[in-house]
Amino acid sequence: MELWQEMLRQSVDSAKDLVERFGFDTETAEKLNKLFHIRINPYYLSLIRYPNDPIWRQCIPDAIELQDEKAPEDPLNEEADSPVPSITHRYPDRVLFLITSQCSMYCRFCTRKRKVSDSTKINAKFIQRGLEYIAAHPEIRDVIISGGDPLMVTDYALEKVLAGLREIPHVEIIRLGTKMPCVLPQRITTKLCRMLKKYHPLYVNTHFNHPWECTPEAERACNMLADVGIPVGNQAVLMKGVNDSADVMLELHRKLLKMRVRPYYIYQADLTKGTNHFRTPVRVGLEIMDKLRGHTSGLAIPYYVIDAPGGGGKIPLLPQYVLGRNGKDILLRNYKYEIYTYPDVEDATVEQHPVERKYMRKHQNGRRKSVSVPNSAEGTEEKVLVEQAPVGQVVK
């Protein structure tokens, strides 16, 4: 048995453990464990510094979870895009491929609680059907292996899946979605990395949410993956009381870059049953992004996205940098809130493509707004009227 497997056996994983180690009353502990199973491995447990700190909030259940009855269990409507039980096919050229329901630590904010920790939801038969589905759809060029956590399976079992995918000619890219470098970095072994190296191009997306998770053990794990040519990206979730400040996010992303991990996404927390106490206003995410841009390297700035409820997919959100137009000029503001003009290029000879016409914003009911624009020649400011199209409208 490998070290990571032995550590899993020592996890906090029952209502009884909550009662004995954290002082929960028995009834509440049993209800919480039934709502979403508990598993906290010893490594991640060791990162807690005090009760209700950012690490605690991610892994220790909270009675408030029991009060959240109205939110959906499948907020992203993955089941509707699931042609076979192990596959979510939402985007044209890529699929999500679930190969296990197990994780080394069950995050209390998990968006896939309906499947994670339930061993009946994913099995060998479903995995084989997933491979067959991918093979039968030549438009699929990118496969994201997830779960649960795909590194919860043995090296042998994982290699069977990777080898099966590499036998499919149209699969160009394979990605592993794993939280192991963060929550159980001991899982990243020399043997595992040697095996993964055989299946390039291979990418890893991992999941750090707070700077305290960027430990020497985590850095070693990420470096091992990078050393065998696997680019590592990070997908954080914005959560109240965990990382909902620009200072925390800035520290996290700077530390990740030092660990050779590229910040990729900040997710707005999903509307999942039992997790809504983590949600922040979208305004908070936009303010964080505004305070990152210009204050650190562009390498440290991820996309801020909402995974649209009902299966709309990831929608990126940005602070307002384009203020409007002044005639042919575009009005922009930088991270210091200084305003600049950029002379746009017009080409009336190019006919607009039908698809562009379909999705172009309507301007008929646009608003006009007065904006102060620096006049560099005279060192003064002047007011100009700027056309603003209603956001979100499309031509039918």
CATH label of the domain that carries residue 307: 3.20.20.70
Q: How does residue 349 score in pLDDT terms, banded at 50, 70 and 90?
A: low
Q: How does residue 358 score in pLDDT terms, banded at 50, 70 and 90?
A: low
| Domain end residue (candidates: 299, 317, 335) | 317
**CB atoms near residue 55 (< 10 Å):** 21
Catalytic one of 59, 107, 214, 222: 107
Catalytic one of 270, 273, 290, 304: 270
| Domain end residue (candidates: 296, 317, 338) | 317
| Catalytic site includes residue 94 | yes
DSSP string, 173-203: EEEEE--HHHH-GGG--HHHHHHHGGG-SEE
Whether 185 contacts 225, CB under 8 Å: no
Residue 214 within a domain: yes
326 and 239 share a domain? no
Give the domain range for residue 98: 78-317
| Catalytic site includes residue 240 | no
> How far apart (Å, rounded) are the C-alpha atoms in residues 192 and 365?
58
Give residue-wise pLDDT tens across range 366-375: 454 555 544 4
Whether the predicted pLDDT of 395 surpasses 50: no
| Catalytic site includes residue 193 | no
| Catalytic site includes residue 21 | no
What is the rounded average pLDDT of the residues 98-108?
Answer: 95
| Catalytic site includes residue 182 | no
| Catalytic site includes residue 39 | no
| Catalytic site includes residue 91 | yes
261 and 329 share a domain? no
Whether the predicted pLDDT of 362 surpasses 80: no
Residue 9 within a domain: no
Kindly tell me the burial class for residue 257, based on how many C-beta atoms sit within 10 Å of its own C-beta (0-12, 13-18, 19 or more): middle
> How far apart (Å, rounded) are the C-alpha atoms in residues 86 and 306?
23
148 and 276 share a domain? yes
pTM of structure: 0.86
Catalytic one of 43, 59, 103, 290: 103
Whether the predicted pLDDT of 382 surpasses 80: no
What is the rounded average pLDDT of the residues 307-312?
Answer: 90
Task: Indicate the DSSP class of residue 380.
Answer: E
> How far apart (Å, rounded) are the C-alpha atoms in residues 262 and 256?
7
| Catalytic site includes residue 110 | yes
331 and 378 share a domain? yes
